[in-house]
Amino acid sequence: MNDIPVFLVNKISSQYPSEKDQILKGYSANRYPSFRINRLKTTKEEIQKILKEDGVEYQTFPFLEDAFLLFNRKEDYLLAKDFYREGKIYVQSLSSQLPVFFLEPKEKESILDMAAAPGGKTTQVASLTGGKCLITACEKSRPRWEKLKYNLEKQGVKKVTVLNQDARTLDDFFSFDKILLDAPCSGSGTFHIGDTFSEELVDRLPHTQLELLRKASKIVKKGGIILYSTCSIFKEENEDIIEQILKETDLELVPISLEEVPLLPSSLEGALVIAPTEEYEGFFLAKLRRRNS
């Protein structure tokens, strides 16, 4: 515990008094590497064959059908494989794969990824739809925009418009069937022993998160879906943001649930707070729909 910033420990104790020890244990855990297949370039059977030949112990998941969790290999194993270099897989945490799972992208839909770099979720949308949806991906940072473009090309994603732009400045004339907002956050769910953690981020980011969600509420079609997520477990970046946007706009909460993942209590019924463990990063997810009337 001495390696975890006092501010972080105190905040966890305040918001999760009964789960504090569980969260701190999750911070110190050595997380198993995970990845998902890229359907645009490979099949699950092809990757399973290679893993079995290499003697890799792994787990798959009925709810994340493209995901793999490795038990007796480090991430370096994946990075050295041809299937990684060829873009047949994308190294991505299980928690990070859940926003797109709940977004449920379909062929021919217009989908916006508001904070897209480095591209894990953008490429996941393309993979799940066979590259047959219309994706717009925004990234305001030029270096991260370049990384996003690189990953899209590596993964073989074609139907995507990549904008080097702050999504908050998008014209209100845009209109999307679905919007993914994996918002910039403090990273309180992905903290690991040895990381630095900024108290200032927790104070500053909610303003940005709320502005992004306000923009999303204006440019999602009536009846359309917004999936809001962060890799934080703090209320001011999550439940407080959702409760505020529900007061201001014509958005409504679409309850989501998933019994298979380790959960922390949420003050917002129908939203999910995932606990940090050896398998999962701490994460928050909420699904919103714009009312038709």
Strand order through the sheet with 58-60: 58-60, 67-70, 34-37, 89-91
Distance (Å, whole) CA 22 – CA 263: 11
Which residues belong to the active site? Answer: 231
Span 71-86, mean pLDDT?
A: 98
Q: Is the pLDDT of residue 74 over 90?
A: yes
270 neighbors 284 (Cβ within 8 angstroms): no
Rounded to two decimals, what is the model's pTM? 0.96
* E strands, 80-164, in order: 89-91, 110-113, 134-138, 160-163
Q: How far apart are CA 293 and CA 290, in angstroms?
A: 9
d(CA 248, CA 256): 22
Q: What residues contact 133, with CB distance under 8 A and at least 6 apart?
A: 105, 106, 107, 108, 109, 110, 111, 125, 126, 159
d(CA 102, CA 186) in angstroms, rounded, equals 22
- List, as one string, the DSSP characters of 236-261: GGTHHHHHHHHHHSSEEEE----TTS
Q: Which long-range contacts (CB under 8 A, 24 or more apart) does 76-80 make?
A: 77/33, 78/33, 78/35
Question: What value does the mean pLDDT of the chain take?
Answer: 95
Q: Could you tell me the domains of the chain?
A: 6-29+94-290 (3.40.50.150), 34-91 (3.30.70.1170)
What pLDDT does residue 202 have? Answer: 85
Joined together, the tokens standing for residue 64 give 């994340």
> Is 2 a residue whose pLDDT tops 70?
no
**Residue 18 pLDDT more than 90?**
yes
Both tokens of 108, joined, read 């021919």
Q: What pLDDT band is residue 164 in, cutting at 50, 70 and 90?
A: very high
Structure tokens at 114: 């508001």
Q: pLDDT (tens digit, 9 = 90+) per residue, 189-247?
A: 999 777 778 788 888 999 999 999 999 999 999 999 999 999 999 999 999 999 999 99
